[in-house]
Amino acid sequence: MNPMLNIATRAARQAGRVLMRYYERTEQLTIHDKGRHDFVTEVDRAAELTIVKELRSKFPQHAILAEESGRQGDSEFVWIIDPLDGTTNYLHGFPQFAVSIGLECRGKLELGVVYDPLSEELFTAARGQGAHLNDRRIRVAKRPSLDGALIGTGFPFREHRHTDRYLGMLKTVMQEAAGIRRAGSAALDLAYVAAGRLDGFWEIGLAPWDLAAGAVLITEAGGLVSDLTGGRDYLDSGNLVAANPRLHQVLVDRLRPSLEGKPAG
């Protein structure tokens, strides 16, 4: 395994153990509001500290961009960390949450790890080396159109200024797809696209730590990731669409009108 990927995997597993230590007694946790419908607990912070400590011990000069502690350091290598993607799910005992760790170097995403500690599913990828679920190579699904497709998404619950545009997109996709799923962890949704469990995914207003690792997984599994116009600005804009190359273009074509403020058909 890639040495950096090996360290990231170890850090993700350690953070997963922190999450599971408290999972059956979340009612004892102190919950703080970061914003509207956006929560943080001491578990988020403890898991993040565990990841940062492991990465710092091996790569002390690297920078960190983490959900709870922000940007630390200045380096061409930047670790992008979400210690608990799906905090609301976690607090409700809803079994859809994950640890997400990505690495960016000189503006390019190099590796990604998404770890589901409940199922012990470990999704890993490094640029040019493919994507894996535990020890098995994974590929995106081959479905070429929305006909019969299962598509993942996420609601723009933090910023309601996106609601009207999002509902237009939802209406358009619902008219053609076999089903739409909103499970509440973008990192896992993207991992599921990489593994072929979802045919595609889109969301508005994600943070870099929500999507960095998953984007690497999908591209290394043979898929495409872009912003909603088909461009490369997804890491900065937080607007993302992902699927195999043919379905990706279909989704971009369907979603773009609503993004531009045009009514859904």
Query: For 220-236, how does the pLDDT look when each residue is reduced to its tens digit (9 = 90+)?
Result: 999 999 999 999 999 99
Domain with CATH 3.30.540.10 in the chain: 3-137
- Please say whether the beta carbons of 186 and 204 come within 8 A: no
Please tell me the CATH superfamily of domain 3-137, with its number.
Fructose-1,6-Bisphosphatase, subunit A, domain 1 (3.30.540.10)
Phi, psi of 151 (to 5 degrees): -115, 135
* pTM beyond 0.85: yes
Q: Which of the four CATH numbers 3.30.70.260, 3.40.190.80, 3.40.80.10, 3.10.129.10 does domain 150-259 have?
A: 3.40.190.80
**Local confidence band at 23 (pLDDT 50, 70, 90 cut-offs):** confident
Phi, psi of 15 (to 5 degrees): -65, -40
Does residue 3 carry a pLDDT above 80? yes
Give the integer Cα–Cα distance in Å for 48 and 137: 28
Ramachandran area for residue 251 (φ above 0: left; ψ -120 to 50: alpha; else beta):
alpha
pLDDT of residue 30: 58
Q: For 96-105, what is the mean pLDDT?
A: 97
Does residue 166 carry a pLDDT above 80? yes
Closest CA to 4 of 79, 74, 63: 79
